[in-house]
Chain A
Amino acid sequence: MIPPLARLWQPAALVLAIMLLIALPFGLERYGIYILSLWAVTTIAAIGLNLTLGYAGQISLAQGAFVGIGAYTAAIMTSAGWPLLVALIVAIILCFAVGWLLGYPALRVQHHYLAFVTLAFSTLAFLVFRNEQWLTGGIYGIFGIPRPTIFGFSTRSAQAFYYVCLGALGAVSLMAWWLVRSPWGRAFTALRENPLRAQSLGIDTRRYTLMAFAIGSAIGGVSGVLYAPLVEFVDPTPFSLVLSLNLLLMVIVGGQGFFFGPFLGALIAVLLPEWLRFTKGYYLIIYALVVMLLLIWSPSGILGILDEALTRRKTRRASALRAAARPTLDEGRAP
């Protein structure tokens, strides 16, 4: 039996992490706070992709485009004087609808082919951001996006806006936590593991595939809505295919299908290059090598390593229990 103390370590670690995240800005300069905010925003996008890819098994190279749609929605609306909250609602609805539509190809094609379809969408979105100058400001982008005032409190300062990002991350995490534990989440996993079997069990795979895309995309939109006021500038370059690939990397490195995978993956993608800056020109090479080695070592990501270690421990414990039970049988067999 697992002792109660061991069962407690997980919630304890979670509480500790949350407290740390709340306390961190007090010990950091503005740059550190900015990077932490960027981590929170990126993690939200990765959580969305983890739902689509990690839980429902639908590969998407379009998550960056949804972050872009969210960011442009926020930039255009808040510049026109709308509150960020309204922009958030519009972005969620817009990304949900576009994500739903993008899900249709997923009903017909899978794996690499689906990746290509979503890649095409990502390129299309980039071209719209860049070429529709009347709406998006084109290559010049939209400058001077205001940070919101919430209940009379201005979030203009780096610290205040960090808490907005952290709050949003908390809300999205809770929602995702609930979702993966609900029948929906089970249906997503069934879809990933064996679509045919899922269908034979009465799961409407068509609806759930579309839903997986739509929800993942809407969460990507939330991330974008925060990105725009964080950087206070949007232009098309950050939302190119590179962002989608980066988000994919985060989900895979962190551990796809693990709830905390995107948190870790984003931490590595945002912070590791920062930490490696002391190596000057070599930092991207080292970063790439570390990621490659990690994936060779553990294709299921960092949490995969942890999961493997825990499973091994459980197996060992079970073996030990079996071994302990064996002597009574061995006694009889002894010569």
Chain B
Amino acid sequence: MNKRHPFNRWLIVGAFAACLAAPAGAQDAVKLISVGELSGGGATVGTNFKNGADLAIAEINAKGGILGKKIEVTHYDSQSNPGVARGLIQRAIDEKPYAILGPGFSGSVKVTAQLTSDAGIAQVMGGEAAELTRLGMKTLFRTSFGQQSSMPKIAAYLVDEVKVKSVSMVWVNNDFGKGGRDTLSKELQARGIKIAADISTEAGQVDFAADVAKVKAAGADAVFVYLNEEESARILKEIRKADIKVPLIGETTLLGQKVIELAGEAANGVRGHVGLTTDAPVPAIQEFRKTFVTRYNYVPDHNGIKGYLSIYMIKAASEKMGKLDAKGLPDALKNLTILASKEPGILMDVTIDENGDLDRDSFLGEVVHGKQQITKILPKLKK
């Protein structure tokens, strides 16, 4: 008879219990904790951010670390769930890190910002929703433009360069897409531009035929497309099929490398504003991209650059203080201008303002023959 021992089962349970102990970090290191979307709906965002941060840490550690101390990082997975992110940020704070990286989703940032602010620990994150830096948190810092910086540039571009009177907007209904849509429509209406169609789509949507039919029926002077990379490629193909001739305008994602690869011919002629791109004609960014591709075997999106920059922002602020003082770090980051000539890892000159927003050059681009070309460099707002 096949006799089973119930105790074997409990042995397995015991083995799991034995793995409870968390690895203890060395005392004399710069301890960073990253909470990001490593699984779930935001996995691309979180993984890019993580890989970018890991790359920067490896580079800095190879050169002796920050003020002679090596950086140690622990990555936690928020599963793209704000409730989990909150718990993990709490855990991160309990572990007394030097700074916290992430999360990337604005909703997750919003539920965690109060905790890091109460603890006085700098949180260098990837969220782009306009409101994040208006919550009055003293320790929250962006790694990219917020939508309140990028959308006015798009609106100005539509009015001054493309010279449109009406725009159709297609956006993805998550905090990223909705945030962009809300900010841009306010900017457009202020400039007297009519919004001919306002079309919300789903993350992961495959069929855009109905949405494109609506865009065609609206007959606006331009179409603003604000979707994630894969969906952008799908809608571009559908738009070409429907023979829509008006300019297609986007922000960062629409002109991304991944969209160009997936959409092929359909991406040609797409124009827009690019805050942070691996295609920027900046030697340092090209160098970063090459190193990233060698290490991870894929081309990063702008989240990869965000992760990378987060580490160099922390490094520059620490060197400004001249010491590793976690409580002093948020103040050191404020009103800090980091020059690429002094700190090449920052890739482009950047100024962090009082609220944690960034100011730096950005680009206007166009896809020509399957390649993103930068047509104009928009200078920093404040010199």
Taking the closest CB of chain B, its distance from the CB of A80, in whole angstroms, is 20
A109 at the interface (CB under 8 A from B): no
Taking the closest CB of chain B, its distance from the CB of A120, in whole angstroms, is 16
B178 with A305: CB separation less than 8 A = no
Given that A139-B175, A231-B83 are contacting pairs, would A30 and B76 also be in contact in the complex, using a CB cutoff of 8 Å? no
B23 with A233: CB separation less than 8 A = no
B107: which of A31, A141, A305, A309 is its contact (CB, 8 Å)?
A141
Stretch at the interface among B84-92, B214-222, B362-370: B84-92
A231: which of B6, B17, B111, B178 is its contact (CB, 8 Å)?
B111
Given that A30-B90, A31-B87, A277-B77 are contacting pairs, would A139 and B174 also be in contact in the complex, using a CB cutoff of 8 Å? yes
A231 with B19: CB separation less than 8 A = no
B9 at the interface (CB under 8 A from A): yes
A117 at the interface (CB under 8 A from B): no
Q: List residues of A (32-89) whose CB comes within 8 Å of B's CBs.
A: 34-35, 38
* Residue among A34, A227, A273 facing the most chain B CB atoms (10 A cut-off): A34
A232 at the interface (CB under 8 A from B): yes
Using C-beta atoms within 8 Å of the partner chain, give the interface range for chain A: 20 to 34
B174 with A238: CB separation less than 8 A = no
B337 at the interface (CB under 8 A from A): no
Taking the closest CB of chain A, its distance from the CB of B72, in whole angstroms, is 14
A141 to B106, CA, bound (A): 11
Stretch at the interface among A186-194, A278-286, A325-333: A278-286
A278 with B86: CB separation less than 8 A = no
A138 to B41, CA, bound (A): 18
A283 to B78, CA, bound (A): 12
Taking the closest CB of chain A, its distance from the CB of B176, in whole angstroms, is 9
A34: which of B41, B81, B87, B173 is its contact (CB, 8 Å)?
B87
A241 to B17, CA, bound (A): 30
Given that A29-B94, A278-B19 are contacting pairs, would A309 and B6 also be in contact in the complex, using a CB cutoff of 8 Å? yes
Using Cβ atoms and an 8 Å threshold, which residues of chain B touch A104? Answer: none
Using Cβ atoms and an 8 Å threshold, which residues of chain A touch B82? Answer: 141, 231, 233, 235, 237-238
Contact with A along B21-46 (1 / 0, CB 8 A): 01100000000000000110100000
A34 with B175: CB separation less than 8 A = no
Using Cβ atoms and an 8 Å threshold, which residues of chain A touch B22? Answer: 278
Contact with B along A256-276 (1 / 0, CB 8 A): 000000000000000011011
A130 with B173: CB separation less than 8 A = yes
Contact with A along B97-117 (1 / 0, CB 8 A): 000000000010011001000
A305 to B8, CA, bound (A): 12
Closest residue of B by beta carbon distance from A29: B94
* Residue among A138, A235, A280 facing the most chain B CB atoms (10 A cut-off): A235
Taking the closest CB of chain B, its distance from the CB of A321, in whole angstroms, is 20
Using Cβ atoms and an 8 Å threshold, which residues of chain B touch A30? Answer: 90, 93-94
A233 with B110: CB separation less than 8 A = yes
Using Cβ atoms and an 8 Å threshold, which residues of chain B touch A29? Answer: 91, 94
Using Cβ atoms and an 8 Å threshold, which residues of chain B touch A158? Answer: 90
A233 with B86: CB separation less than 8 A = yes
B190 at the interface (CB under 8 A from A): no
Given that A143-B110, A237-B81 are contacting pairs, would A231 and B86 also be in contact in the complex, using a CB cutoff of 8 Å? yes
B62 at the interface (CB under 8 A from A): no
Given that A29-B94, A305-B6 are contacting pairs, would A283 and B174 also be in contact in the complex, using a CB cutoff of 8 Å? no
A140 at the interface (CB under 8 A from B): yes
B253 at the interface (CB under 8 A from A): no
Closest residue of A by beta carbon distance from B182: A140
A334 to B20, CA, bound (A): 60
A305: which of B9, B17, B175 is its contact (CB, 8 Å)?
B9
Using Cβ atoms and an 8 Å threshold, which residues of chain A touch B110? Answer: 141, 143, 233
Q: List residues of A (106-161) whose CB comes within 8 Å of B's CBs.
A: 130-131, 138-141, 143, 158
B111: which of A31, A232, A278 is its contact (CB, 8 Å)?
A232
B175 with A140: CB separation less than 8 A = yes
A227 with B83: CB separation less than 8 A = yes
Taking the closest CB of chain B, its distance from the CB of A140, in whole angstroms, is 6
A139 with B173: CB separation less than 8 A = yes
Contacts A30-B94, A158-B90, A227-B83 given; 4 further ones with Cβ under 8 A? A30-B90, A31-B93, A131-B173, A143-B110
* 18 examples of A-B residue contacts, CB within 8 angstroms: A29-B94, A30-B90, A31-B87, A31-B90, A31-B91, A34-B86, A34-B90, A130-B173, A141-B110, A143-B110, A158-B90, A227-B83, A231-B86, A233-B107, A275-B16, A276-B19, A278-B19, A284-B77
Interface residues of A (CB under 8 A from B): 29-31, 34-35, 38, 130-131, 138-141, 143, 158, 227, 231-233, 235, 237-238, 272-273, 275-278, 280-281, 283-284, 297, 305, 309
| 3 nearest CB pairs, A to B | A31-B91, A233-B111, A29-B94
